[in-house]
Chains A and B, each alone.
Chain A
Amino acid sequence: MWAVETIGLTKDYSAGFWRKRPLRALDGLSLRVEKGGIFGLLGPNGAGKTTTLKILLRLVFPTAGSAQLLGRDIRDISVHRLIGYLPENPYFYDHLTAPEFLNYMAEIFGMGRDARCRRVGTLLERVGLASFQKLPLRKFSKGMTQRAGIAQALINDPELIFLDEPMSGLDPLGRREVRDLILGLREEGKTIFFSTHILGDAETLCDRVAILHRGRLEGLGGMQEILSREVSSAEIVLEHPSPELVELAKSLASSVVRTGERVRMVIPEAAQPERVLAQFLERGAKVVSFNEVRNSLEDYFMERVGSPARAPDVRSAHPPAGGENP
């Protein structure tokens, strides 16, 4: 049984005031997410990440295709007992305090008074809001609101947690806290499905990622596979190099940067970095470091998506032929 399974999930919105025309936000998305671990749905703005999550949560309905959560069709809302959801830029009832809000959410799940009190207390402690119990939600900072949102997503101790851009708009400290929370959930055996356009977060957190671009699945794979792909280049740093060595570096490296007494150069894989290193050592160069540079998630992302700046947010329901999914 898969935690999340989508088959040919497609969503068309209509745009225009007088003459409605369809706009395809999601185009035949088929993917399977195993139970346990952190799955990242990556893509530039307008790629269809939020639409995917909203379809899975039944906030919008697919134009075509089907999806299952924990082996149950998404139309069966009883599966919502087992899932948690943090919307993008969450907003809550601003007149309530965090304990009141969480208590309301817990009541919906039919928890008894004692169980509610315990759960709300534990969650407030866990997300670091225990000392703000009397503060109304309207006075919460962005980071505090996000943490309250995570707490409500966890109120039912869900098996599967959807987080839509959980780190967007947070300061570095807030991001770190949310990241630690997500890692903690993985340790508990939960499945976390989160969408983000911040590649650094995905690289730090995810076990597997899918890349969406203009509504299409452009890449899918384990983070280990992606990061341990071939070495693309090597970086050599020399200290106090002679003018002759600098000239040699310029002739072999794709880039040479001098920083104070040091010269940093990038040797492409084609130029055989080990041989270049040997040449420098033969000439008596003082080599400070030699590091292989492997492809990062960013390289993988750019390879699949290209320049996000060139991509329109949505595209026509009738895309040109030949654009097959990988």
Chain B
Amino acid sequence: MNSISRVATIAVHSFKESVREKVLYNLVGFALLLIAAAILFGSISVGIQKTILINLGLSSISVFGLLMAIFIGVGLVAKEIERRTLYNILSKPVARAEFIVGKYLGLLVTLVINTAIMALGFYAALYYVTRQFVRADAIALEAIYLILLQFAIVVGVAIFFSCISTPVLSAVFTFCVYVIGNYLADIRWFGRENGSVLMEKLTHALYFLLPNFANFQATSLAAHGMRIPGYLLVSDSLYALLYVTVLVSAAVLAFEEREFK
């Protein structure tokens, strides 16, 4: 059996494991509920019913998907360590790198499927409101794709932290990285205006070190029916790929050194 097959086996198992998490269904349920609620909010907003629905719908997908990525992401590796189920896997001919990559891919597939379910709910709500689909509605799909790229990075961050820390701290760190990553431009501006050289260097380093999640924000464009430029889709894909590669590699390096006492 080659490395790819072992990674695939672990990914499939991780997927099966994560879809049994009750928190997942609760989050998907809440997201769908919020999308349904967007219909109500829209109905009391004269003329911008569709805009409100797209805005709130995509935001729900983003927020609940993020929560899934963090909660399940930090638990997937940490739980295996805590419950010592990992001993069974690592005593088999499985490289630690294969284990981490398998876990990462398993969770990513879970998120893709859950996002697809939320997207279906969103489009169902959209159809309920407009009673038709127009070509411009496909823009929301592009926005959802960018949201998924964010999830891919967040899962990478979560898995990295779960390889070096406890589940609770990993969740906190991952959430902090996400929040900071959404305001990197503002933080850099603050550093420049602050006047302190140290602060400027620090904010500058943060700007280049952490993933800039603001690059993936396309909800407003989609809500106003504006096309997302093709170059943005390509550059964001490459940007996410780069970060995911770095994060998963860092997670593998940390995991390679980890001892299971």
Of the candidate stretches B91-99, B107-115, B169-177, the one touching chain A is B91-99
Residue on A nearest B21 in the bound complex, by CB: A95
Question: Is the pair B85, A91 in contact by a Cβ cutoff of 8 Å?
Answer: yes
Q: A90 to B84, Cβ gap below 8 A? A: yes
Q: Per-residue 0/1 for B13-28: is the Cβ within 8 Å of any A Cβ (1 yes, 0 no)?
A: 1000100100000000
Closest to B6 in A: A108
Taking the nearest CB of chain B, how far is it from the CB of A98, in angstroms?
13
Give a binary string over A4-46; 1 marks a CB under 8 Å from any B CB, 0 the rest.
Answer: 0000000001000000000000000000000000000000000
Interface presence of A60 (CB below 8 A): yes
Which one, A90, A104, A109, contacts B13 given CB within 8 A?
Answer: A104
Q: What's the least CB distance linking A52 to chain B, in Å?
A: 13
Query: Do A108 and B90 touch across chains, with their CB atoms under 8 A apart?
Result: no
Given contacts A54-B260, A60-B259, A95-B20, contact A108 B84 (CB under 8 A): no
Residues of A within 8 A of B92 (CB): 80, 105, 108-109, 156
Q: Kindly state the separation between the CA atoms of A13 and B260 in the bound complex, as whole angstroms.
A: 12
In the complex, what distance in Å separates the CA atom of A59 from the CA atom of B87?
A: 7
- A307 adjacent to chain B (CB < 8 Å): no
**Interface residue? A204 (CB, 8 A):** no
* Assembled-state Cα–Cα distance A195/B15 (Å): 35
Chain A residues whose CB sits within 8 angstroms of the CB of B95 once the complex forms? 77
Cβ of A152: which chain B residues have Cβ within 8 Å of it? Answer: 88
**Is B131 part of the binding interface, using a Cβ–Cβ cutoff of 8 Å?**
no
A contact residues around B90 at 8 Å (CB): 57-59
* Bound CA span A156–B91, Å: 12
Alpha-carbon separation in the docked complex, A90 to B91 (Å): 13
Q: Does A87 reach chain B (CB closer than 8 Å)?
A: yes
Contact of A108 (CB < 8 Å), options: B83, B89, B261: B89
| A residues 89-120 in Cβ contact with B at 8 Å | 89-93, 95, 104-105, 107-110
Q: A105 CA to B10 CA in the complex, in Å?
A: 10
With both beta carbons as reference points, the residue of chain B lying nearest to A50 in the complex is identified as: B261
Q: Is the CB of B84 within 8 A of A61?
A: no
Could you say which of B5, B85, B259, B260 contacts A93, with CB atoms under 8 Å apart? B85
Is A289 interfacial (CB 8 A cutoff)? no
Is A194 positioned at the interface, with any CB of B under 8 Å from its CB? Answer: no
Closest to A51 in B: B261
Contact of B9 with A107 in the complex, beta carbons under 8 Å = yes
A301 touches B (CB below 8 Å): no
Q: Which of B17, B84, B93 has the most CB of A within 10 A?
A: B93
What separation, in Å, do the CA atoms of A80 and B13 have in the docked complex? Answer: 20
B234 beta carbon closer than 8 Å to chain A: no
The answer to whether B94 touches A108 (Cβ under 8 A) is yes
Using known A-B contacts A59-B260, A110-B1, determine if residue A85 contacts B87 with beta carbons closer than 8 Å. yes
Are A13's CB and B261's CB within 8 A?
yes
Q: How far is the CB of A182 from chain B (nearest CB, A)?
A: 18
Q: Considering residues B1, B5, B17, B88, which has the most beta carbons from chain A within 10 angstroms of its beta carbon? A: B88
Residue of B nearest to A83 (CB): B91
Across the A-B interface, give the 10 residue pairs with the lowest CB-CB distance, nearest first.
A110-B1, A85-B91, A80-B93, A60-B259, A87-B87, A59-B260, A107-B9, A108-B92, A81-B93, A91-B83
The interface of chain A, by Cβ under 8 A from chain B, is 13, 54, 57-61, 77-78, 80-81, 83-85, 87, 89-93, 95, 104-105, 107-110, 152, 156, 162
